[in-house]
Amino acid sequence: MAKSVVGVDFTSTAVRAVEVSDPDRKPTVLRYFELPLPAGAVSRGEVIETNTVAQALKQLWARGGFKSKDVVLGMGNQRVLARDMTVPKAPLRRIREALPFEVQDMLPVPVADALLDFYPVSESQGEHGPVVHGLLIAAVKAAVLGNVAATEKAGLNTVDVDLIPFALTRALVSRQGVAGTVALVDIGANTTTVVIARDGVPQFVRIIPTGGDDITHALRAGLETDLLSAERVKRALGLATTVASQEEQAAVEVIYRVALEQLTSLRNTVSYFANTRPDDPVEQLVVSGGGALLPGLLAALGEMTRLPVALGDPFANIAIARSADEQNLRQQGTTFAVAFGLAVGSAA
């Protein structure tokens, strides 16, 4: 039987996992599950309470029926830097070995406290010879090791740690065969990830420190209610154009105020890419994550950017085993995009 691996996605509100067999050739989804996390256990993708998260992982494995203990974790918050970088052409191993001596001025922390990688995108002829254009990836070491520690305490084996934007690209563009230049927007609870890919290859990454929870917290304050009630109001009304009461009107005004700030930030991010690469215009937007399910959001984003917008489906062309509830996965698949993308990148 083909070996399986589990992609694990930590968010501020839940931990999600997808188990995939034969991830590098013919991936099949075997199992998936999610569990809510106590407030404060994870912050913006970083494990804060190791014991709490380890216990949640043990419950996740038991209730989700996961068989493999090999896991791939994702990183993608404000403590992960992804920036354009051009270096003299050399074997990738040598480029990576030289990074600590070349990037200190680009990092917010000392080199010794960071994990570094280089993702090549293209090659060209520079002033002094051939060069490689790519993305510098730098993550705060303590944040990565903290997540790994939680999985180890749960009895799991971390086989890789990957960048969430790369996982999203695999799940929603590369494996879907989407050609051209596409902007992926994954809206989580506290973080929004934007990755622009050309023919399945990431060209540009930005991580924005806002998400769906910003709207929930604004509703809690504006309506003077609790978080659970605010979340229900958000999901029910969204960016509604008609309301039935003054209470609903007050809620919708709060939602529009916060959502407009977030949508403006997304539009500015896409515009920045377009301005720096005028010969490579973004042709469409693909949106994923729990925040993408806010009623009216896709239409508003399309109107603001004047681009076609679609809800991403990571499982559109993927086999799903009988051990998984296919109908349910199809309905909420966008929330599992990161976990799936991490699993299918385990051999990369």
Question: Measuring CA to CA, which residue among 326, 233, 333, 318 is closest to residue 288?
Answer: 333
CATH entry, 80-140, from 3.30.1490, 3.40.50, 2.60.40, 1.20.120: 3.30.1490
Which residue is listed with tokens 């659970």? 228
Domains 4-78+142-177+313-343 and 212-309 share a fold: yes
Beta bridge partner(s), residue 130: 125
Where the chain has pLDDT below 70, the residues are 1-2, 346-348
Q: Kindly report the CA angle at 270 between 278 and 192, in degrees rounded to 5?
A: 155
CB 88 within 8 A of CB 128: yes
Sign of CA dihedral 241, 244, 249, 251: negative
**Helix and strand counts by DSSP (H, E) for the chain:** 10, 16
Q: Are 215 and 259 in contact (CB under 8 A)?
A: yes
Residue closest to 84 by CA, chosen among 141, 122, 140: 122
Residue 335: both structure tokens together? 């929330």
The pTM score is 0.87
Which pLDDT value is given to residue 333? 80
Tokens read off for 39 = 């407030």
In the chain, where are the structural domains located? 4-78+142-177+313-343, 80-140, 212-309
Q: Which residues of 184-205 are buried (b: 16+ CB within 10 A; e: fewer)?
A: bbbbbbbbbbbbbbbebebbbb
| pLDDT, position 347 | 45
Interstrand relation of 4-10 and 70-75 (parallel, antiparallel or unpaired): parallel
Do 122 and 131 contact (CB within 8 A), yes or no? no
Query: What pLDDT is attached to residue 346?
Result: 54
Angle between helix 246-276 and 297-305 (nearest 10): 40
In terms of CATH, what superfamily is 4-78+142-177+313-343? ATPase, nucleotide binding domain (3.30.420.40)
- Using DSSP, state whether 204 is helix, strand or coil: strand
> What local confidence, expressed as pLDDT, does residue 225 receive?
93
d(CA 117, CA 100): 10
3-state percent helix, strand, coil for the chain, nearest multiple of 5: 40, 30, 30
Strands 284-288 and 309-311: what pairing? Answer: parallel
**Residue 299: per-residue pLDDT:** 95
What superfamily in CATH does domain 212-309 come from?
ATPase, nucleotide binding domain (3.30.420.40)
